[in-house]
Amino acid sequence: MSLIIEGVVLGIMTGGIYALMASGLTLIFGVLEIINVAQGILVVLGAYFSFWLGQHFHIDLFLGLLIIMPAMFGLGVLLEWAFIRRLRWDRITLSILVTYAIALIIEGVLGFVFTTNFQELHAWYIDAAVPIFGFFVNDVYIIAFILSVVLLGALYLLVYRTSFGRRLRASMQNRTAASLVGIDVPRVQAITFGIGVSLAGAGGVAFGATNAFNPASSYDLIYRLLVIIILGGMGSLSGSLVASLVLVIIGDVVALVWSPVWSSTVFFVLLVALLLFRPQGLFGRMGGRKQ
């Protein structure tokens, strides 16, 4: 029983971090209708950014977010202007190719600059832990989880309580109609992409604080993030949060209680079963978008 509790607690902590990483991906799909395959490497880029700040300027890995998030936002806006905005037709298919190319370039640069040796983010509190229900949880996991909750909460407020959020949701619902009522859709898309990349960077700091990483870590990340947004419903923020928790909790509990060999298998069996009855995912909408 204690193992199950430990699996659930760890799953919630880790799931929060994955929710942060996935939120940017689902937001980008919802507004721009593209699949950003580079999200995984952008998460890793955020981790390396924090690593670099720590190594050269001794900036705490969470305080460094004050630099990392604006910088990643700028990078996102630049990528959207340079590559995504040029996609006029067959956006989904071409976006996969284009963002994959971006991912390969970033991975190559990271490998060249930092080598492929595994790195870890360090802080004076990295080994501190608190006892919960008879086992210990790293302070870093708790801080990363709180960070995820705060940022996801801020994202919710942005999307549902601000005028920009109304414009963003209008663009998600119907890009053409939004444009007709005077919304600057390209500007909304650029800012949204920037927000998505910024969230990836923040997710990278949380990921790097709890995992060793190297440039190749993005491959495992992106498949998990894609599975999360499919399970949660493409374009649904609340769906990505719930799906993250479900994915990680099921994986951790199965690995702890049964066997790590079956961890991924059990999850994917459940995913397929769900999609058979609910192909739009947990919180997605049937019928697709009308343009």
Q: Which is nearer to another protein, 175 or 224 (CB)?
A: 224
Q: Which is nearer to another protein, 34 or 253 (CB)?
A: 253
Q: Which is nearer to another protein, 116 or 162 (CB)?
A: 116
Question: How far apart are CB 148 and another protein at their closest, in Å?
Answer: 17
Q: Which is nearer to another protein, 70 or 108 (CB)?
A: 108
3-state secondary structure 260-282: HHHHHHHHHHHHHHHHHHCCCCC
Separation between Cα atoms, residue 35 and residue 15, nearest integer Å: 21
What's the Rg (C-alpha) of the chain? 19
Question: How far apart are CB 136 and another protein at their closest, in Å?
Answer: 5
Question: How far apart are CB 22 and another protein at their closest, in Å?
Answer: 16
Q: Which is nearer to another protein, 251 or 284 (CB)?
A: 251
Question: How far apart are CB 51 and another protein at their closest, in Å?
Answer: 14
Question: How far apart are CB 223 and another protein at their closest, in Å?
Answer: 11
Separation between Cα atoms, residue 8 and residue 236, nearest integer Å: 24
Sites of contact with another protein (CB under 8 A): 2-3, 6-7, 10, 14, 111, 115-118, 120, 127, 129, 135-138, 212, 214, 216-217, 220, 251-252, 255-256, 259-261, 263
Q: Residues for the chain: how many in total?
A: 291
Say if CB 42 and CB 204 are below 8 A apart. yes
Q: Which is nearer to another protein, 14 or 198 (CB)?
A: 14
Neighbours of 37 (CB within 10 A): 22
CA distances from 225 to 17, 22, 131, 168 (A): 11, 5, 30, 22
* One-letter amino acid for residue 109 of the chain: V
- Name, in order, each residue with C-beta under 8 angstroms of 266's C-beta and a sequence gap of 6 or more: 250, 251, 254, 258
Neighbours of 261 (CB within 10 A): 9
Question: How far apart are CB 264 and another protein at their closest, in Å?
Answer: 8
